[in-house]
Amino acid sequence: MYLKHLNILNYKNISQAELPFCDGINCFVGPNGAGKTNLLDAVYYLSFCKSYFNSVDSQNICHSEDFFVIQGGFDRSDSDEQIYVALKRNQKKQFKRNKKEYSRLSEHIGLLPLVMISPSDERLIVEGSDQRRKYIDSVVSQYDKSYLEKIIRYNRALLQRNTLLKKSDRLNSGLNAQLDVWDEQMVLLGEKIFDERTAFIEQLVPVFRDFYEHICGGHEAVDIVYISHFQKGDVLEMLRENRERDVILGYTTKGAHKDDLQFLLSGKAVKREGSQGQKKSFLIALKLAQYEFLSRFNGFGPILLLDDVFDKLDQERGNRLIQLVSQDRFRQIFITDTQKKRLGEIVEKTGKENRFFEVVDGAVKIQE
């Protein structure tokens, strides 16, 4: 699968762009703040129906404009897919596949698999558990639509339970009866979510370790450990035992919405012990493992977006990364960099077809 062309109107600082891409490596070069990352984000939007960086759609409209439009033409398993998204201020977003609008955006997720590697991925390491849960859910949802539906239903039940808790100042028989209903739903859905998250992590970790070893030369041991209340006993009983505490706090303290991942380097938390280069290597290996996982499931490679990946990597790790993406299993790749000469030398080593685009103040032109 690959993206053949991309048309943009008023998306972030890109007022207009019509870009033809090659079925290889496409490079966006230019100074910081020029709009290189915004171009990658537009590609990401066509796959996930949202921005990678800003979930408030109206804030992605170019300043002083009233709308944005993104259109992309994809070759997917030798068939053409035309994807169109448009948003006007204070109106519902339109998302269309081959001129037919989706009734639910969740129907689109997984059609165009994509993996994004960005400096902002550091939030997976340094921020709270919600970031790591979102990561798991975004990957599993790309190959299992029923999983996404379970997440949606679980979050609705959690919202209802939390609403009851916030409105109450003490437990009583009426509140207990209502909580029983939502607790049972959360546990039923939560067990299924836990099983699918467990299966995903078990398959991901060995591939992740292989990629990290390749990037770092095999000198460091890494691991990812999944943590869930469902590993510790009867979650339904936990919910009942913690009701008084939950009423005081005004939210639910047990369940699948509290799951987390531990990222470990030589048995210690990467967050505390890892250098900038080690953290970046860890995240790149994680995302490449995600790429491999989705490739095996779909039978073809996702689109790979690499945003400023060579910053904070020493030359040795950068060279090993290039060796990896030079392999045939990586098909279409988009890369951003501030240094055209450096990126040109890197891309030349891959032997892949390539195309360069210069980005200056939101304007994009092909480099001949």
For the chain, give every domain's residue range: 1-113+301-368, 125-299
31 annotated ligand-binding residue: yes
Q: Mind listing the pLDDT tens digit for each residue in 246-271?
A: 999 999 999 999 999 999 999 999 99
Q: How far apart are CA 84 and CA 179, in angstroms?
A: 43
Average pLDDT of span 283-303: 92
Q: Has 86 been labeled as part of a binding site? A: no
In terms of residues, how long is the chain? 368
CA distance 156 to 186: 9
What element of type H or E holds 337? strand 333-337
Q: Is 268 annotated as a binding residue?
A: no
For domain 125-299, which architecture applies?
Up-down Bundle (1.20)
Phi, psi of 297 (to 5 degrees): -70, -45
Q: Is 34 annotated as ligand-binding?
A: yes
**253 among the known binding-site residues?**
no
What is the band of 143 on the pLDDT scale with cuts at 50, 70, 90?
A: confident
Number of CB atoms found within 10 A of residue 341's CB: 9
1-113+301-368 CATH: 3.40.50.300
Binding residue per annotation — 33? yes
Pull the structure tokens for residue 71: 């259109």
222: helix, coil or strand? strand
277 is in an annotated binding site: no
32 known member of a binding site: yes
User: Average of pLDDT values for 107-136?
Assistant: 94
β-bridge mates for residue 356, sequence order:
27, 367
Q: Quick one: which H or E segment has residue 179? A: helix 173-216
- Residue-wise pLDDT for 66-119, tens only, equals 999 999 999 998 899 999 999 999 999 999 999 999 998 989 999 999 999 998
